[in-house]
C-alpha cells in the first residue's frame, strides 16, 4: 500500500510533478532563454527521481537495511523540492528574458536575479539529496560485503580487506 511517508511514493509523486512542470515549461519556450534549461532540468530531474525510487524499491527487496533518517525519509524530499526550486527559479528568470549560454552577468532585472538565486538554492538542495542518496547505500553495501568476509581467522579477514583496498 502506498502512502505519503513511503519514500517510493514520494519519489513517484515528485517525478510526476517534475515531468508535468517540464512539459509546461517546454510549451512556454519562446527564444533562447534559460526557460530551455528549466524545461530539460525538470524532465531529467523527473527521470532521475523515478530511478531513485526504483533503486529504493530494489534495495528493500534485497534486504539492504539503511537506518539513517536522512536516507529513509528526507532524501527524496530534498532532491524533489530542490529540483522543483531550481527549475522554478530558471523559469522565473527565463520568463523575464534571462539569456542562456552567455558568459558574465547579463541580468538587468530584479526578477532575473531572484530567479537565479532561487535556482542556486534549489540546485544546492538537490545536490545534497544526490550525495545522501549515493553515500548511505554504498556504506550499507560495503558493511554487508565486509560482514560477509568477516571470520575469526586474522589472515583471511585481512586478505579480504587488502583485496578490497587494492581495487
Q: Give pLDDT tens digits for 116-157.
A: 899 999 999 999 999 988 887 787 777 777 766 665 455 555
Quote the pTM value. 0.79
| Average pLDDT over every residue of 34-39 | 92
SS3 115: helix
3-state percent breakdown (helix, strand, coil) of the chain, nearest 5: 75, 0, 20
pLDDT beyond 60 at 166 = no
Predicted local confidence at residue 167, as pLDDT: 46
Cell numbers at 74, concatenated: 528526507
Cell numbers at 19, concatenated: 515531468
Q: Give pLDDT tens digits for 44-65.
A: 999 999 999 888 888 878 777 7
| Contact present, 39 and 95 (Cβ < 8 Å) | no
Average pLDDT, the chain: 82
Work out the percent of the chain whose per-residue pLDDT is above 90: 39
Amino acid at each position: 500500500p502506498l502512502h505519503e511517508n513511503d519514500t517510493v511514493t514520494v519519489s513517484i509523486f515528485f517525478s510526476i510533478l517534475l515531468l508535468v512542470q517540464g512539459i509546461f515549461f517546454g510549451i512556454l519556450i519562446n527564444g533562447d532563454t534559460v526557460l530551455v534549461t528549466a524545461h530539460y532540468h525538470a524532465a531529467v530531474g523527473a527521470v532521475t527521481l523515478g530511478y531513485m525510487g526504483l533503486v529504493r524499491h530494489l534495495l528493500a527487496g534485497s534486504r539492504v537495511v539503511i537506518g539513517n533518517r536522512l536516507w529513509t525519509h528526507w532524501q527524496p524530499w530534498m532532491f524533489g523540492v530542490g529540483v522543483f526550486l531550481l527549475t522554478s527559479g530558471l523559469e522565473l528568470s527565463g520568463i523575464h528574458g534571462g539569456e542562456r549560454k552567455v558568459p558574465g552577468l547579463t541580468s538587468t532585472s530584479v526578477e532575473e536575479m531572484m530567479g537565479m538565486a532561487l535556482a542556486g538554492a534549489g540546485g544546492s538542495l538537490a545536490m545534497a539529496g544526490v550525495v545522501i542518496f549515493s553515500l548511505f547505500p554504498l556504506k550499507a553495501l560495503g558493511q554487508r560485503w565486509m560482514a560477509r568476509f568477516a571470520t575469526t581467522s586474522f589472515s583471511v579477514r585481512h586478505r579480504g580487506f587488502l583485496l578490497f583496498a587494492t581495487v
